[in-house]
């Protein structure tokens, strides 16, 4: 058996080394790198884009193309995460926590070097795990049922205690709110509509892309505009030397990279976990296990970049395990890859481990070679990528904002996507200013639907016995320990329970107090709204809502009445302490007055609203050109010789990538309604 496997692996390597197939692999890598750089797109878009082109290909070339693309999306998504604080895909959200602060310190090249090296190692670990584990993991993967998947989802939510810095109560409240957002729309068990505000847009739930871009991207761009700064204040980014330093960091912390690579590969093999969760789990693991991590993570610690990037590339190889072994897609993009199986007459399961073992190993080699090739390309252009960080905000802002708006619109291709982007942008900026952790919201959104669906199935199939399955007991035990850890630290730091309960005195109200009150009021209204629903439809939303109110109330009392310093102390009393700990929401504008922040923030909001109104009036592509020109001239008094090429280049880029290559629909404009003939000339009108 071992001889047969080695023989098939060698045969597959020779098949893939064919010049034409290597060409398809390289083309897939280039497409994947381009998609990863564009916020709002991801591997699933790339799979959908390339799948039709595989009909006339041989089986090996088709999977080389598709897996070449899918394997490197989470390599290049590091670029916007580090430079702009914008997650290129959901899998790079955790990279922002330390990657973006490094860029602001002029260490973008070092962050790139560390990220690319960790991504390559993680990708190779994922491919290796796939190569050796398909036969061995099959019985274990078949054992996992809805109770185990539910336990993994709960464990992911419990990571908020690590991701919330000195504010675990705020983190829990934010995560609960994220779960509530995930439950907007049609109840999966009864079909009942919940929290839809009578809007058809919300019937299928709130799409993830506008939420992620709103919470993370718009606030970063807003602060850049408010502070009138480029991404880094360094005028000369030395990315070459920094790049090699990042490579050394990856090998200096090789054991961490290997650990998170294994975490990514193993969790990627579990259907339903997803890339948007895996990097947070790996990041949380590093935050708990690395020496001094609690003091430095979130402020530009390269180990945080290594943890996130080493795991998110490894998951692709892991996700192929259940896809190949028994036809259960390990991720959304793997679901589309199953379409390629059908197109080429392949049946997932025993056949892929027997008669079609050569195809399986072509997939494995494709993942491995794509990671090496993608990393090499990123290294080759790292110097150019890092220098982007020095571009003036008046130049870079309209270009990035244009891509963000177009990317957000692709969630459901409706105006609701743009409104959601704006609303969550306001929420994200407010949370950032008030130092509320934002990552728990995304975790709640990603895992909320999974928790409800698997909870219903587990109770229906197993009753209360689902709680006593061995894997469930272990995972839930680790989850409870994760939740109790901040409380236990607080008790210890306070010298016991009595000491922890002391320190309360007369209340003091501030902007955070107002935010608490608004939060509790909004959740309270949502509670009232679900009371009239049937028991099945309201059970989980009501439970989560009440939990959110209880946690937010406790945090409000702690913030308003308690003035001591501890793990659960107020943010204002421990600001210096928090600044040294895991926190992605520290702003750099302490020298700017509140009045100036409000005025510049209002101007930035006006630009965004003007962007949306212009789209409504004349269409997306004309608006991109008008917006780039108007912003660069008004905000930076840039010269026409820079403004015009920027506007023309951005418009052509949007047309070629989104209209011609991706064939994405555009929002209809009033101008197009009035003059339909224009739509034959300008596609987006």
Using one digit for the tens of pLDDT, what is the confidence trace for 274-291? 566 788 888 888 888 888
Cβ burial, residue 257 (10 Å; 0-12/13-18/19+): buried
List, in sequence order, every residue forming a beta bridge with 194; answer none if it has no partner: 185
Average pLDDT, the chain: 80
Q: Among 124, 123, 100, 94, which residue's Cα sits nearest to residue 112?
A: 100
Neighbours of 52 (CB within 10 A): 10
How far apart CA 12 and CA 57 sit, in angstroms, is: 17
Using one digit for the tens of pLDDT, what is the confidence trace for 300-329? 888 989 988 888 888 878 888 877 876 666
For the chain, give the percent of residues with pLDDT over 90: 14
- Mean pLDDT for the stretch of residues 189-217: 84
Task: Check pLDDT > 90 for residue 607.
Answer: yes
How far apart CA 181 and CA 193 sit, in angstroms, is: 13
How far apart CA 254 and CA 412 sit, in angstroms, is: 41
What is the enclosing helix (H) or strand (E) of 194? Answer: strand 193-194
List C-alpha distances in Å: 86 to 76, 323, 407.
12, 30, 12
Contact criterion met (CB below 8 Å) for 318 and 126: yes
Tokens encoding 594 = 């509140």
What's residue 672's pLDDT? Answer: 82
Identify the band that residue 588 occupies on the pLDDT scale cut at 50, 70 and 90: very low
Task: Check pLDDT > 50 for residue 515.
Answer: yes
Using one digit for the tens of pLDDT, what is the confidence trace for 108-122? 888 888 999 998 998
Sign of CA dihedral 222, 226, 228, 232: negative
Tokens encoding 215 = 């919470």
Using one digit for the tens of pLDDT, what is the confidence trace for 404-422? 888 788 777 888 889 999 9
Q: Tell me if the pTM is above 0.75.
A: no
**Region of poorest pLDDT, from 76-80, 124-128, 545-549:** 76-80
Neighbours of 673 (CB within 10 A): 11
Identify the band that residue 497 occupies on the pLDDT scale cut at 50, 70 and 90: low
How far apart CA 275 and CA 257 sit, in angstroms, is: 17
Q: Which residues contact 200 (CB under 8 A, 6 or more apart)?
A: none
Q: Between these two residues, 212 and 570, which has the higher pLDDT value?
A: 212
């Amino acid at each position: 058996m071992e001889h047969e496997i080695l023989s098939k692996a060698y045969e597959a390597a020779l098949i893939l080394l064919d010049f034409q197939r290597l060409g398809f692999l390289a083309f897939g890598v280039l497409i994947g790198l381009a998609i990863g750089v564009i916020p709002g797109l991801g591997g699933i878009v790339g799979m959908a884009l390339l799948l039709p082109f595989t009909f006339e290909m041989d089986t090996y070339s088709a999977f080389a193309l598709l897996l070449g693309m899918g394997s490197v999306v989470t390599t290049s998504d590091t670029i916007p995460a580090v430079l702009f604080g914008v997650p290129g895909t959901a899998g790079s959200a955790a990279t922002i926590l330390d990657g973006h602060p490094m860029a602001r310190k002029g260490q973008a090249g070092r962050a790139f070097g560390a990220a690319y090296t960790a991504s390559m190692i993680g990708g190779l670990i994922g491919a290796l795990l796939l190569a050796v584990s398909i036969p061995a993991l099959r019985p274990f993967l078949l054992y996992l049922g809805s109770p185990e998947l539910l336990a993994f989802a709960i464990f992911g939510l419990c990571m908020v205690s690590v991701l919330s810095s000195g504010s675990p109560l705020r983190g829990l409240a934010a995560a609960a709110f994220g779960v509530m957002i995930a439950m907007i729309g049609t109840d999966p068990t009864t079909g009942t509509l919940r929290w839809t505000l009578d809007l058809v847009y919300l019937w299928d739930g709130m799409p993830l892309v506008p939420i992620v871009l709103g919470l993370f991207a718009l606030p970063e761009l807003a602060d850049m505009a408010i502070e009138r700064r480029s991404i880094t204040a360094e005028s000369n980014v030395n990315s070459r030397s920094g790049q090699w330093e990042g490579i050394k960091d990856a090998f200096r912390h090789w054991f961490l990279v290997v650990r998170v690579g294994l975490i990514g590969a193993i969790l990627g093999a579990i259907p339903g976990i997803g890339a948007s969760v895996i990097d947070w789990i790996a990041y949380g693991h590093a935050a708990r296990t690395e020496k001094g991590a609690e003091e430095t993570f979130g402020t530009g610690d390269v180990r945080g970049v290594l943890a996130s990037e080493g795991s998110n590339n490894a998951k692709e190889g892991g996700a192929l395990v259940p896809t190949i072994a028994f036809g259960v897609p390990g991720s959304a993009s793997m679901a589309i890859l199953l379409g390629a199986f059908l197109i080429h007459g392949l049946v997932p399961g025993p056949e892929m481990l027997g008669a079609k073992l050569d195809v399986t190993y072509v997939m494995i080699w494709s993942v491995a070679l794509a990671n090496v090739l993608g990393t090499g390309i990123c290294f080759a252009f790292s110097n150019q990528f890092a220098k982007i960080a020095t571009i003036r905000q008046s130049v870079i802002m309209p270009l990035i904002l244009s891509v963000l708006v177009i990317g957000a619109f692709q969630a459901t291709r409706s105006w609701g996507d743009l409104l959601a982007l704006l609303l969550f942008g306001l929420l994200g900026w407010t949370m950032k200013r008030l130092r509320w952790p934002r990552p728990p919201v995304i975790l709640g959104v990603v895992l909320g639907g999974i928790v409800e669906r698997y909870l219903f199935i587990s109770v229906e199939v197993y009753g209360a016995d689902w709680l006593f399955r061995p894997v469930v007991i272990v995972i839930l035990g680790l989850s409870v320990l994760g939740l109790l850890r901040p409380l236990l630290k607080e008790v210890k730091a306070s010298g016991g329970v009595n000491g922890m309960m002391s320190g309360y005195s007369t209340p003091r109200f501030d902007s955070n107090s107002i935010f608490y009150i608004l939060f509790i009021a909004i959740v309270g209204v949502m509670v009232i709204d679900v009371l009239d629903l049937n028991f099945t439809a309201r059970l989980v939303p009501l439970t989560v809502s009440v939990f959110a109110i209880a946690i937010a109330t406790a945090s409000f009392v702690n913030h308003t009445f308690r003035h001591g310093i501890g793990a659960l102390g107020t943010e204002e009393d421990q600001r210096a302490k928090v600044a040294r700990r895991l926190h992605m929401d520290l702003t750099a504008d302490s020298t700017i007055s509140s009045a100036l922040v409000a005025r510049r923030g209002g101007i930035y909001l006006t630009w965004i609203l003007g962007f949306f109104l212009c789209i409504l009036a004349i269409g997306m592509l004309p608006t991109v050109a008008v917006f780039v020109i108007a912003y660069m001239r008004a905000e930076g008094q840039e010269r026409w010789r820079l403004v015009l090429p920027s506007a023309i280049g951005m418009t052509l880029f949007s047309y070629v990538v989104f209209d011609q290559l991706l064939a994405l629909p555009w929002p209809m404009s009033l101008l197009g309604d009035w003059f339909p003939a224009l739509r034959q000339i300008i596609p987006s009108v």
